[in-house]
Amino acid sequence: MQIVIGVLFSALLLIVCLDSCAGSDIGCALWAPSGRTDVCCKRCKPGNHMVQQCGEDPKELCSPCKAGTYTTDPALSSCQRCTQCTGVQMVKHDCTSTSDTVCGCINGYRCGNAKCTHCIQECGQGQEPTENQTCRPCPHGTYNNGIHQKCMPWRTSCPPDHPILYPGTQIHDSICRNISIVIPEVSIRPNTKENVPPDNLIMVIGCLSVIMFTIGLSSFVCKHLLKKKDTKKPVIIEKAPTIGEPGRLVQQEDCSFCHPQQEQGGSMDSIASQDSKDKLLPV
């Protein structure tokens, strides 16, 4: 039970504290007695406007600004409406009860005045702003190498022995030349090797030609040697066996001193007749 009572007492103190803290931002900040019971407010608290100058309760003399309004003078009787950023403007800081909206400009534009109530085009290099808040190119003989600045005239002369090396443009001044520093002039020669192949290509073509020639020559020599070897190979002619004498193979020999053979079928008769003649002859 004591724990519950302690929690309730703590909650009550917290509510009272929050109410007092919230009430400290509402009402009159500075007042003076007027008569026996009234007070007159001289300045409201920040973010409050004066509702009634004199009264019995200082908290009822001022009221906070509503949403979308603000005041920077706590003695005013009303709050002002917050500024709205439009077009190319952008919100940098939101509006509060004590300050107005702070606007800015997107890239390529800048504020046209201190309060940035509008934006104007930002002039780059080679340009300058005009009176009607636009940009124009730098006139001939002037230049601008900054951002949103007036164009300045070119340099028309250089120190002694320092002639003008490069004339001015819209983005830079004339450049003087220091004769003590020798600046080599780069001469551009005509390209006479447009149709000449590079050395590497010539070497590749030469190597390929030698390889192709070697392959062709080797092929020709191999074919010639194979053809010559085929012409020297001996030819063997085989005859089929004669009818009536199976299994007998007659091979023709290449011999120039062999005697002619007798015809087949009459060889046995000739041998028999020769034997009979030998027997009849006297010894």
Convert the pLDDT of each residue in 8-28 to its tens digit. 445 434 443 433 344 448 899
What residues does 44 pair with on adjacent strands? 28
Are the CB atoms for 35 and 41 separated by under 8 Å? no
pLDDT of residue 178: 76
CATH of domain 25-81: 2.10.50
Would you say residue 5 has pLDDT above 70? no
Confidence grade of residue 219 (pLDDT, cut at 50, 70, 90): confident
Convert the pLDDT of each residue in 79-99 to its tens digit. 999 999 999 999 999 999 999
Would you say residue 161 has pLDDT above 60? yes
| Mean pLDDT value across residues 69-73 | 95
Q: What is the DSSP string of 31-85?
A: EEEETTTEEEEEEEPTTEEES-SEES-GGGSEEEPPTTEE-S-TT-SSPEEPP--
What is the rounded CA–CA span in Å between residue 128 and residue 139? 9
What is the rounded CA–CA span in Å between residue 38 and residue 267? 182
pLDDT of residue 63: 94
| Mean pLDDT value across residues 31-35 | 88
Q: Where in the chain is the domain with CATH 2.10.50.10?
A: 83-122, 123-180
Looking at per-residue confidence, does 271 or 30 come out higher? 30
Convert the pLDDT of each residue in 267-276 to its tens digit. 444 444 444 4
Considering the chain, what percentage of its residues have pLDDT values greater than 90? 44
Fold for the domain defined by 83-122 = Tumor Necrosis Factor Receptor, subunit A; domain 2 (2.10.50)
Which CATH class, in words, describes the domain spanning 123-180? mainly beta
pLDDT of residue 269: 46
Among 43-52, 163-172, 185-194, name the one with the lowest average pLDDT. Answer: 185-194
What is the rounded CA–CA span in Å between residue 103 and residue 113? 11
| Tokens 């000739």, located at residue | 270
Contacts of 23 (CB under 8 A, 6+ apart): 59
